[in-house]
Amino acid sequence: RVRQLGKRNEFIIRLVHQFRNIHTLDLSGNKYLTNSLLEKLLKCTPKLYRLTLRRCSGLIDKALQSISEYAIGVKDLSIGSIRGITNAGMQHINNRLVLRKIGLSQCRNLTDESIINLAERSNTTLIVVGANMLTSLTDKSITALADNCPNLSILSISHIMSISSLSIQYIASKCVFLGSIDLALCLLVDDDAISAIARHCTSLFQINTCHNHLITDKSLCEVWRNCKQMRTVLITGCSLLTDH
């Protein structure tokens, strides 16, 4: 894990070059990381499998182009909280990589286009999607994931207020291996959605419904009854819940 490159850029490149079998590279939070430096690092790591670039604020779409050219073997990619990333950059990823896990949370420029293309490209391989606070997403993205990614096990889509209860019911019926789902502040999600999750996704071990004001005791009781592996239920701010 390399947090701060700073003036040691060339040293890090030489170091990485000595270990060309590196399969995991975590550069998260590195404000000194540039697109050109990332490209140099990727050229030195041809066997890279897992790449984490969260909060690397100096990166733009060019970084994703470099990943698609020099790190085509990457299966786990985390690029959350990078404001310079757009649909154009994600198109490079979707054209070349087949991913198992993708972290896109707080990449606020991304729209349905990126998620739909991701779902169609990675399809049955994709098991983890982190898309919290992608406020431009709609039911089209959820439907695309449901139709193309039956092995999805972790879905995080909190703070997306345009996602409807119907789309959550649909993905619950299609992605029955869901183990964790984050729906915090998805204000259109109601009891029907949570009940559908309880019926279809019986391997669920974690659910977050914080600040969803349409959810009542009825659906959460179904979750407790049906999901025997449940470990974590987050319900802060669900105003219709009672002590029962």
More confident site: 243 or 215: 215
More confident site: 158 or 8: 158
Residue 153, pLDDT > 70, answer yes
Residue 3, pLDDT > 70, answer no
Q: In sequence order, what DSSP letters do the residues of 2-25 get, joined into one string?
A: ----GGGHHHHHHHHHH-TT--EE
Taking residues 129-143, report their average pLDDT: 98
Q: Residue 209 and residue 185: Cα distance in Å, rounded?
A: 7
Residue 193, pLDDT > 80, answer yes
Taking residues 175-198, report their average pLDDT: 98
Q: CB of 64 within 8 A of CB of 97? A: no
The pLDDT tens digits of the residues spanning 224-233 come to: 999 999 999 9
Q: What is the pLDDT of residue 244?
A: 63
What mean pLDDT is reported for the chain?
93
More confident site: 42 or 4: 42
Q: What is the pLDDT of residue 243?
A: 73
Question: Which of the four pLDDT bands, split at 50, 70 and 90, describes residue 2?
Answer: low
Those residues with Cβ within 8 angstroms of residue 172's Cβ, 6 or more apart along the chain or in another chain = 178, 193, 196, 197, 199, 200, 201
Q: CB of 153 within 8 A of CB of 178? A: yes
The pLDDT tens digits of the residues spanning 15-42 come to: 677 777 889 999 898 888 899 999 999 9
Q: What is the pLDDT of residue 66?
A: 97
Q: What is the pLDDT of residue 30?
A: 86
Q: What is the pLDDT of residue 217?
A: 95
Q: CB of 171 within 8 A of CB of 146? A: yes
Percent of the chain at pLDDT exceeding 90: 84
For the CA atoms of 19, 23, 80, 84, what is the dihedral angle to 10 degrees? Answer: 50
Report CA 188 to chain centroid distance, whole Å.
Answer: 20
Taking residues 147-156, report their average pLDDT: 98
Question: Which of the four pLDDT bands, split at 50, 70 and 90, describes residue 130?
Answer: very high
Q: What is the pLDDT of residue 33?
A: 87
Question: Which of the four pLDDT bands, split at 50, 70 and 90, describes residue 10?
Answer: low
Q: What is the pLDDT of residue 181?
A: 98
Using the 8-state DSSP alphabet, how is residue 100 labeled? S
